A and B are shown apart, each in its own frame.
Chain A
């Protein structure tokens, strides 16, 4: 016990970046469907010099893939700082606690706790939806492990330690869902969340209104605004129709429609959005969805 208390866990590169007060940049990688990790290595190399931390998604959109834990382990080996995304959809509390301890012994320090999309939204709609814990309870579970106990109250031989994050949606569209986002955010903080990444935003005004509300609620925690690289007007229309909580305003869709050069417009839209939200938040979380090679251009003015 004494020995484990003496052990000081070094802060992750991402945690240091956020604490230094610099405008942080995180991005994310989605593991491949299958065992080929070359593709992810290429994307990871592009992110090496631009991202302070790299999220690794956990069977994103409920699609079966290579796991987040194994991919985080590789990022770590390649000298990058992974943010281990953990959803509640596929594992019960035994497996979640075990994977968290596994992540710790592999040197993974950043964790992002999520509920997870429902099973029927993915490619295995027949699968049993687990959801044994919710995202607030998952943070509570991590906190409990850090205190040297498991959820059943048993002692652990050594305490893990994490830099713990959670997600909030600034674009919830009804009074109930908006208020519940605030209430749940506070619960996440009380259960140990140390940073937030938001759902993707396209309307800076929506984000500003949300941050004003956060200030009024006296919530003081690093928030990274979610930015999706918009590849086409088709993608915008698709998200407006099918992706809950994401809304691309008409002027942006029109701009995309009007141009032949989608890549330049994508970079312009994302850079402008970052400029607008920068005074209000601690950093940005950029989801490139395969366009990782354009992230350096999007963030070049931040350097």
Chain B
């Protein structure tokens, strides 16, 4: 199971500061186990956003948000709700946020931080990679993780090592920032790249004591027989 925890509501509201219409999308896989997903969580966020004067264009739960084919089939009847939204707020691990961003063609704000893969991966079957950094910034990078797509983990743009869109570490590896640029260009949001991203907070990669007490981790330690 992939363990996630909530981003502080203040951080989410800051992300949505300049946006009015929000589409909420959540994964029913791992987040339900980690209690960071499910109907209650999503409707609770809807209420919070509406209290802040936002308009929630729709809520959608998908069994495994890390599966792009599944997302495509489930959003078909809901395209208007998505089109009417300025952005999507995604309750899932980093893989789900990346998969949603690849399909929705909208800025996908992560509502959760991904802490650890906890030994078992979810249903992930695509090209997305999550670095479980605990400090998700996928909405600033067009739904492509700079920590897993760029070997140097650069947050403010490409280095000078790329050549023909490929990485200096491997001529067959795409430059992560080339992908980020093209992804943001596709949705007309290159303006986001002007924002200075401060250094990542590495203290967040350590799961908190509270998280280590979750049911799954506790069961792991319990003497049954």
B156 contacts the other chain (CB 8 A): yes
Q: Which residues of A contact B194 (CB under 8 A)?
A: 183, 186-187
Are A137 and B156 touching (Cβ within 8 A)? Answer: yes
In the bound complex, residues from chain A placing their C-beta under 8 Å from that of B197 are 137
Q: Quick one: CB contact mask for B187-198 with A, threshold 8 Å, 1 for yes?
A: 000100110111
Among residues of B, the one whose C-beta sits closest to the C-beta of A182 is B157
B32 beta carbon closer than 8 Å to chain A: no
* Given A187-B194, A190-B196, A244-B163, residue A176 in contact with residue B181 (CB < 8 A): yes
Contact residue among B156, B168, B190 (Cβ-Cβ distance under 8 Å from A244): B168
Question: Which stretch from B2-10, B46-54, B146-154 is at the chain A interface?
Answer: B146-154
Q: Are A177 and B199 within 8 A (Cβ)?
A: no
Cβ-based interface call for B122 (8 A): no
* Bound-state Cα–Cα, A179 to B180, Å: 12
Q: Which residues of B are found within 8 Å of A118, using beta-carbon distances?
A: 151-152, 161, 168-169
Interface centre among B160, B162, B165, B168, by most chain A C-beta atoms within 10 angstroms, is B160
Task: Check B168–A117 contact: CB distance below 8 A.
Answer: yes
Chain A: CB-nearest residue to B177: A180
B-binding segment of A43-51, A166-174, A269-277, A288-296:
A166-174
B65 within 8 A of A: no
| Residue among A129, A180, A183, A190 making CB contact with B152, cutoff 8 Å | A129
Determine whether the beta carbon of B199 is less than 8 Å from that of A172: no
Within 8 A of B (CB), among A39-78: none
Interface size on A, residues (CB 8 A): 40
CB neighbours (8 Å) of B108 from chain A are none
> B175 contacts which chain A residues (CB < 8 A)?
176-177
Q: Do A167 and B152 have beta carbons less than 8 Å apart?
A: no
Whether the Cβ atoms of B159 and A174 lie closer than 8 Å is no
Residues of B near A129 (CB, < 8 A) are 151-152
With a cutoff of 8 Å between Cβ atoms, the chain B residues found around residue A287 in the complex are none
A212 within 8 A of B: no
Q: How far apart sit A93 and B201, CA to CA, in the bound complex (Å)?
A: 11
Residues of A within 8 A of B199 (CB): 93, 132-133, 137, 151
Chain B contacts for A89, CB-based, 8 A = 152
Contact A174 B157 (CB under 8 A): no
Partner of A183, one of B155, B157, B163, B178: B157
A177→B166 CA distance, assembly (Å): 10
B202 surroundings in chain A (CB, below 8 A): 132
B158 at the interface (CB under 8 A from A): yes
Known: A180-B181, A184-B157, A199-B160. A115 touches B165 (CB 8 A): no
A129 to B169, CA, bound (A): 12
Whether B127 is near chain A, meaning CB under 8 Å from some CB there, is no
Q: Do B169 and A180 touch (CB < 8 A)?
A: no
Tell yes or no: A181 within 8 A of B by CB: yes
A136 to B199, alpha carbons, bound, how many Å?
10
Is the beta-carbon distance between B165 and A177 smaller than 8 angstroms?
Answer: yes
Residues of A with C-beta under 8 A to B157:
134, 136, 180-181, 183-184, 187
- Nearest CB on A from B31, distance (A): 30
Interchain CA distance A172-B177 in the complex, whole Å = 13
Q: What is the CA–CA distance of A186 and B156 in the complex, to the nearest angstrom?
A: 11
**Cβ B159 vs Cβ A115 within 8 A:** yes
Q: A118-B152, A186-B194, A244-B168 are in contact. Are A173 and B158 (CB under 8 A)?
A: no
Given A121-B169, A245-B160, A179 contacting B154 (CB threshold 8 A): no
Q: Which residue numbers of B lie inside 8 Å of A, CB to CB?
A: 151-165, 168-169, 175, 177-178, 181-182, 185, 190, 193-194, 196-199, 202
Interface contacts beyond A174-B178, A176-B165: sample of 16 additional A-B pairs, CB < 8 Å, sorted by A:
A89-B152, A93-B199, A115-B154, A115-B160, A115-B161, A129-B152, A131-B154, A133-B199, A134-B157, A176-B178, A177-B181, A181-B157, A184-B156, A184-B157, A245-B160, A245-B163
15 contacts between A and B (CB under 8 A): A88-B152, A116-B152, A118-B151, A129-B152, A134-B152, A134-B157, A137-B199, A140-B198, A172-B162, A175-B181, A176-B158, A179-B190, A244-B160, A244-B163, A244-B168
